[in-house]
């Protein structure tokens, strides 16, 4: 499996955070999706931010999170707000 840090938006620090949350590799992240990965991070790190959610979605899509569509960002914002 590909390392998480080989994906866009995933540096070494976020990679270690994901591994600690039970997301060991890129295949697992892509199968579970950004929302589930975010939920796992948030359950162990209560202060996980919206930008992390966007970074995860960009990684799943294989793009920089800045290039997510407005529609996707709005959907992610609604999800993020529902977790607060």
Write the CATH number for 51. 1.10.150.20
Residue 1 has a pLDDT of 67
Domain range enclosing 29: 4-82
Give DSSP secondary structure letters for 12-76: HHHHHHHHHTT--SHHHHHHHHHHHHHHHHHHH-TT--HHHHHHHHHHHHTS-GGGS-HHHHHHH
Could you give the number of structural domains in the chain? 1
Residue 48 has a pLDDT of 94
Residue 84: band (very low, low, confident or very high) from pLDDT cuts 50, 70, 90: confident
> Is pTM, for the whole model, over 0.75?
yes
């Amino acid at each position: 499996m590909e390392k998480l840090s080989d994906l866009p938006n995933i540096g070494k620090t976020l990679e270690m955070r994901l591994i600690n949350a039970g997301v060991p590799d890129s295949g697992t992240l892509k199968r579970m999706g950004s929302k589930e990965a975010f939920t796992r991070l948030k359950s162990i790190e209560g202060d996980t931010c919206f930008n992390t959610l966007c970074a995860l979605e960009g990684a799943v899509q294989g793009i920089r999170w800045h290039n997510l569509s407005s529609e996707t960002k709005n959907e992610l914002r609604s999800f993020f707000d529902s977790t607060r």
